[in-house]
Structure 1
Amino acid sequence: MLIIHDIKVWDTGERIDLVVPDIDSRRLLSESDSVVSGEIDGSSMILAPGFADPHVHFRDPGQLDKETMVTGAQAAAAGGYTRVLIMPNTLPAMDGCDADMNDKDGVRNALEYVQNYERLHDVKLPVRYDVSVCASVGRAGRQPTRSRDYARFMDSAARSGQGGDSVLTKSGVVCSANVEHPLRAISDDGSAITDGILGAVFQEAKTTGLPILEHCEHHDSGCINEGMVSRKLDVEGISAQTELAVVERDIEAVRQTGVRVHFQHVSTAAAFDAIRQAKSEALPITCETAPHYLALCDEDVLEYGTMAKMNPPLRSDADRKATVAAVVDGTIDMVATDHAPHTRIEKQTGLADAPNGIIGLECAYGICRKMLVESGSIGDERLIELMAVAPERLMGHAATDIATLLNTSSTCATKRTLDLSQVEHPENVDLVVIDTENEWVVDSSQFHSKGRNTPFDGWKLTGRPVVTIIGAKLVFSRLSSTSGTE
Structure 2
Amino acid sequence: MADLLVTDARIVDPSGVTKGDIVIENGRITAVGPTAARECAGDPERLDADGMVAIPGVVDVHNHMHDDELFPADIDFASETASAVAGGVTTVVELPTQTPVTTPEAVRQKRDDCEQLAHVDFGLVAGNFEDADVDVAEIIAEGTRDFKTFTAEPYLAEDREIVELLSAVGEAGGKVRVHCETQGILDHARAQIDGDDPGVYMDSRPVEAELDAIGRMGWFAEYADCPLHVVHVSSGSGAREGARFKSRAEVPVTLETCPHYLAFSKEDVEELGPFLKVNPSLKSPAEVDRLWDALADGTIDLVASEHFPTHRAERERGWENIWEPYAGLPSIETMLEFLASEGVRDGPLSWQRLLELVCARPAREAGLYPQKGSLLPGTDADVVLLREEPYEVTASKLAFVGGWTPYEGREWSHRVDTVIAGGEVAARDHEVLSDPGDGEFIERGPIR
| TM-score of the superposed pair, with normalisation by structure 2 | 0.80
Question: Residue type of the partner of 1:304?
Answer: L
Match of 2:147 among 172, 186, 206: 186
CA distance in 2, matches of 1:135, 1:39: 46
After superposition, the Cα gap between the structure-2 partners of 1:319 and 1:15, relative to the gap in structure 1 and judged at 3 Å, is same
CA distance in 1, matches of 2:139, 2:425: 29
Match of 1:80 among 75, 80, 88: 88
CA distance in 2, matches of 1:275, 1:444: 35
What is aligned with 2:282? 314
Matches within 5 A, 1:44-443: 44-65=51-72, 67-91=75-99, 93-96=100-103, 109-117=105-113, 121=116, 123=117, 125-136=118-129, 141=130, 143-147=131-135, 151-154=137-140, 175=141, 182-188=143-149, 191=155, 193-219=157-183, 220=186, 233=199, 237-283=204-250, 284-350=252-318, 351-400=322-371, 404-405=376-377, 424=378, 428-443=379-394
CA distance in 2, matches of 1:382, 1:374: 12
After superposition, the Cα gap between the structure-2 partners of 1:85 and 1:232, relative to the gap in structure 1 and judged at 3 Å, is closer
CA distance in 1, matches of 2:253, 2:383: 28
Question: Residue type of the partner of 2:331?
Answer: G
Once the 2 structures are TM-superposed, how far is the Cα of residue 293 of structure 1 from its aligned partner? Answer: 0.9
Which 5+ residue runs of structure 1 have no aligned equivalent?
Answer: 25-36, 98-108, 155-174, 406-423, 481-486
SS at match of 1:59: coil
After superposition, the Cα gap between the structure-2 partners of 1:364 and 1:192, relative to the gap in structure 1 and judged at 3 Å, is farther
Question: Residue type of the partner of 2:125?
Answer: S
Question: Residue type of the partner of 1:257?
Answer: A
Question: Residue type of the partner of 1:274?
Answer: E
CA distance in 1, matches of 2:229, 2:280: 16
SS at match of 1:14: strand
Once the 2 structures are TM-superposed, how far is the Cα of residue 130 of structure 1 from its aligned partner? Answer: 0.7
CA distance in 2, matches of 1:479, 1:233: 33
Question: Residue type of the partner of 2:6?
Answer: I
Question: Residue type of the partner of 1:47?
Answer: A
| TM-score of the superposed pair, with normalisation by structure 1 | 0.74
SS at match of 1:475: strand
What are the superposed Cα offsets for residues 55-113 of structure 1, whole Å, 9 maximum, x if unpaired?
0001333234172010111111111112111112242x11117xxxxxxxxxxx54222
Once the 2 structures are TM-superposed, how far is the Cα of residue 386 of structure 1 from its aligned partner? Answer: 0.2
Contact 2:55 2:375 in 1 (8 A): no
Question: Residue type of the partner of 1:381?
Answer: Q
After superposition, the Cα gap between the structure-2 partners of 1:404 and 1:456, relative to the gap in structure 1 and judged at 3 Å, is closer
Contact 1:50 1:399 in 2 (8 A): no
Which 5+ residue runs of structure 2 have no aligned equivalent?
Answer: 29-43, 432-448
Question: Residue type of the partner of 2:407?
Answer: F
Question: Residue type of the partner of 1:55?
Answer: H
Once the 2 structures are TM-superposed, how far is the Cα of residue 329 of structure 1 from its aligned partner? Answer: 1.4
CA distance in 1, matches of 2:274, 2:164: 36
Contact 1:44 1:435 in 2 (8 A): no
CA distance in 1, matches of 2:219, 2:360: 28
What are the superposed Cα offsets for residues 129-188 of structure 1, whole Å, 9 maximum, x if unpaired?
11111152xxxx3x324126xx4443xxxxxxxxxxxxxxxxxxxx3xxx5xx2131003
Question: Residue type of the partner of 2:421?
Answer: I
Greater Cα shift, 347-356 or 324-333: 347-356
Once the 2 structures are TM-superposed, how far is the Cα of residue 370 of structure 1 from its aligned partner? Answer: 2.6
SS at match of 1:457: coil
CA distance in 1, matches of 2:64, 2:335: 15
Identity of aligned pairs, percent? 24
Greater Cα shift, 340-349 or 76-85: 340-349
Once the 2 structures are TM-superposed, how far is the Cα of residue 47 of structure 1 from its aligned partner? Answer: 2.0
Once the 2 structures are TM-superposed, how far is the Cα of residue 353 of structure 1 from its aligned partner? Answer: 2.0
Question: Residue type of the partner of 1:463?
Answer: H
CA distance in 2, matches of 1:194, 1:436: 48
Match of 1:13 among 17, 22, 35: 17
What is aligned with 2:33? none
Once the 2 structures are TM-superposed, how far is the Cα of residue 449 of structure 1 from its aligned partner? Answer: 2.9
